[in-house]
Structure 1
Amino acid sequence: MILINTVGTSVLTAWKEFGDRYDEAHRARLVAALKGLDQSDKRLGAELTSIQSLMKQGVVSPGDRLVFLVSDTREGACVGDVLANIGEHWGFNTESHVIKKLQGDDPKAFAQGLRNLVKKIAELYRNASGPVAINATGGYKAQISFAGLIGQVFGLPVYYQFESFPAAIELPALPVSFAFDDWLAYRHVLEALDEGEAGELLKADDSRIKSLPEKLRVLVDTSQGLATLSALGALYHEGFRERFRAQAQALLPKASGIAPADKKVTYEDGNAGRHRGLADWLERIRAVPYVTRIETFYYNPRLPGRSTVEPDPAHGDRVIAIYATHDATTKAYVFLSENDPKKAQAAAADLAERLR
């Protein structure tokens, strides 16, 4: 079991007589004080008190992994180290991660911090070898609320201990729905917003952003003429990326039965050998079972961009693969074993993952 814990500064508040140096001496003194407490003492702070409650309920046990996600502040780093130390003292495997820009002084930075929180939880979930749960008791109020939403999107149990409650409780699912079909259709746009274009953010008037339906534009933040995913957008994108990885085989076109060497690759623009690395990239696509043939149709030696795979909105039997490296861009039609727009969207998402 991995228990991901959002973290605030309640333990510092409980021991404010120790001052605010947050140096090694301060941490050592705080750790010593906490080790000397009964495990039901409220001076343990919100995070440790709720972990004790979850231990009593059998949600976590010594030997499990505790991950503390702390704010990007001196206080946060201090608390993370202290909590990790106490967790180890109780028999857990522990680690503390500072979430960059998660702090309460700058609203714009905090919004980016929430995005970084989503990405870290997605990473922990993706790399986990066992069950994962979230303890959202500690941290900023917005962070706690967002952790509940993260849990719902990733399908994880979320626990919270109200200050007046004797035990932590599992939070019920929020009455919010997210459409998987919308993610498949616009996944390439969300990726561009998340990753940028040739190392730069998309412009707010980019045609891809304009292609998003109104209901998905809430996922986009714009500032000074540039656009990126909002914290909610990052959650939506990361959550459905994980769902797709789990369900991909059931969504993809059937295997073509054609050996990779027999799948024809044609260069309609005379680009063979001109774009460095293209041939190897196309070989990786040709090896995918549901691919039947490949046909390049565009080459620009002076157009930087990002490599990706997009659905072809006019055809259900092919997707558009874009190879953008060395300041050049090549586009190719990748033909599929079935003519089905939904399966083509899934194939585009799958190929984009394979080619990362």
Structure 2
Amino acid sequence: MRTILTTVGTSLLNNAKRDLKGEEVNEHGLANYLRRTDPERASAETNSLSRILQEGDRIIFLHSQTEEGKLCAQALERHYRSRDHDVELREVPDLTYAERRFKMRGLRSLVATMIELIRRERQHGREVLINATGGFKAEIAYATLVGLLFDVPVYYIHEAFRDVIQMPPAPIGWDYSLLADHEEFFEWIASDLRETADVDAWLRGLPEEVREEVRLLLVEEEGYTFLSPAGEAFYEAYKERLQQAEGVPVHLSSKARATYERVGPEIARRFARALNKLRVRELRISQSDRVRNSDCLVFPRGHCGERVFYFEDGEAIYVCELARHSDRSYERLIACGVRREAYRDFQRWEGR
């Protein structure tokens, strides 16, 4: 069974006003217009749905927080319910088309709403598609970004060819290194409304080039800074990737377990973060290094307080040592050498 998330614009209303000269254009009038008009002509939404809709498909119409958007969505709901489709309407908070509010809050709400619905429908065992033909071009762009990040096929009507174009899920692994390296910052800024002064104070502690990369995922409004629509999409996709990787088995050697159990709660929490990230294949590829005097890989690379010596065998990850720079244990291990054959008694780590 499939669910089609469909963004709604106002082409239905505009087309009806053009064609129904002198007639009142209300929900009832729009429903009649839909019933007697070729779907390819009636609206952007019906045009694209006429090409991808199948029997048994569920449709969720996402509309703006405007009277025009709501009117179009209600007419579309009525039309497709009469054709025995399960239909849901979802108003997107702050999607009002007041320029600044649309740019800052509305698009972020659209991204968050789409991600919520993708997760919900997948939990119910439904295949999710995005029909991104209706609405402004910015809405279509961010709907497409969500589809790419969450492995959802995206459909839209190409203006030049007037045919439906499918953008399949991207067969690539996204680079989440920036989010992984600064996970605590992104957790912090996503969890509440943050004053720009506080955000700036946090970012001042980062190297300039990293600070600029992070700022690309942020927006500022009225003294507050928060994730941009793209930042929201990337951060939620990163969290999704961590969740998907929870089942990857991680085994700790007796020495690694002893270290994990010996350190205090805060350091143990930092090691747990590193081990959870280690489960994500894309992060292992992008953030692991080979070091001298060891046949293990070290994760993560770069300036990080906690380091993990590990190797892979099949689908499992085996951690030989957990080390830190603050107590010089990392440097001591490099000097002495870390060789796989020296480690035994691996047990599965069940931490989160």
Is 1:211–2:206 an aligned residue pair?
yes
In the alignment, structure 1 residue 182 sits paired with structure 2 residue 178: yes
Displacement after TM superposition at 1:209 (Å): 6.7
Taking structure 2 as the reference length, the TM-score comes to: 0.66
Deviations 1:18-51 (A, max 9, x none): 78987xxx112211331233xx444421101110
Structure 1 residues 248, 175: closer, same or farther in 2, change over 3 A?
Answer: closer
Q: Could you say which residue in structure 1 is the equivalent of 2:234?
A: 236
Shift of 1:225: 4.1
Q: 1:65 to 1:338 in 2, by over 3 A?
A: farther
Larger radius of gyration: 2
Amino acid at match of 1:205: D
Match of 2:134 in 1: 138
Q: Which amino acid in 2 is paired with 1:80?
A: A
Provide the C-alpha distance between the structure 2 equivalents of 1:231 and 1:313, rounded to a whole number of angstroms: 28
Alpha-carbon offset, residue 170 of structure 1:
0.7
Q: Distance in 2 between matches of 1:232 and 1:245?
A: 20
Deviations 1:143-201 (A, max 9, x none): 112222221111211111134535311137789984123322222211211222xx654
- Counterparts of 2:152 and 2:169 in 1: how far apart (Å)? 10
Contact 1:5/1:67 (CA < 8 Å) preserved in 2? yes
Whole-angstrom distance in 2 between the partners of 1:195 and 1:62: 40
Letter in 1 for 2:150: F
- In the alignment, which residue of structure 2 is the partner of 1:315? 306
Matching of residues 1-356 of structure 1 within 5 Å: 1-16=2-17, 17=20, 26-37=26-37, 40-55=38-53, 61-127=54-120, 128=122, 129-163=125-159, 165-171=161-167, 178-196=174-192, 200-201=194-195, 203-208=198-203, 210-211=205-206, 213=210, 214-250=212-248, 253-254=250-251, 292=261, 295-296=264-265, 313-316=304-307, 339=322
Distance in 1 between the 2:43 and 2:218 partners? Answer: 36
Equivalent residue, structure 2, for 1:273: none
The superposition leaves residues 32-78 of structure 1 with CA deviations (integer Å, 9 ceiling, x where unpaired) of 331233xx4444211011100113xxxxx122111111111111111
Determine helix, strand or coil for the equivalent of 1:221: strand
Alpha-carbon distance, 1:130 to partner: 2.1
For 1:339, the aligned partner's letter is L
3-state SS, counterpart of residue 8 of structure 1? coil
Distance 1:220 1:210 in 2: 17
**Is the 2:104–2:221 contact (alpha carbons within 8 Å) kept by the matching residues of 1?**
no
Taking a change above 3 Å as real, the CA distance of residues 338 and 172 of structure 1, as seen in their structure-2 partners, is same
Percent identical:
27
Partners of 1:241 and 1:297 in 2: how far apart?
21
Using the TM superposition, give the Cα deviation of residue 215 of structure 1 relative to its aligned residue in structure 2, in angstroms. Answer: 2.2
Amino acid corresponding to residue 185 of structure 1 in structure 2: D
**Match of residue 279 from structure 1:** none
SS at match of 2:307: coil
Letter in 1 for 2:206: S
Q: TM-score, normalised by structure 1?
A: 0.66
**In the comparison of the two structures, how many residue pairs are matched?**
273
Give the counterpart letter for 1:246 in structure 2: Q
Q: Flag the 1:204–1:315 CA change in 2: closer, same or farther, 3 A.
A: closer
Separation of aligned partners in 1, 2:213 and 2:23: 46
Q: Residue 142 of structure 2 contacts residue 229 of structure 2 at CA under 8 Å; is this kept in 1?
A: no
Question: For 1:172 and 1:184, how far apart are their aligned partners in 2?
Answer: 26
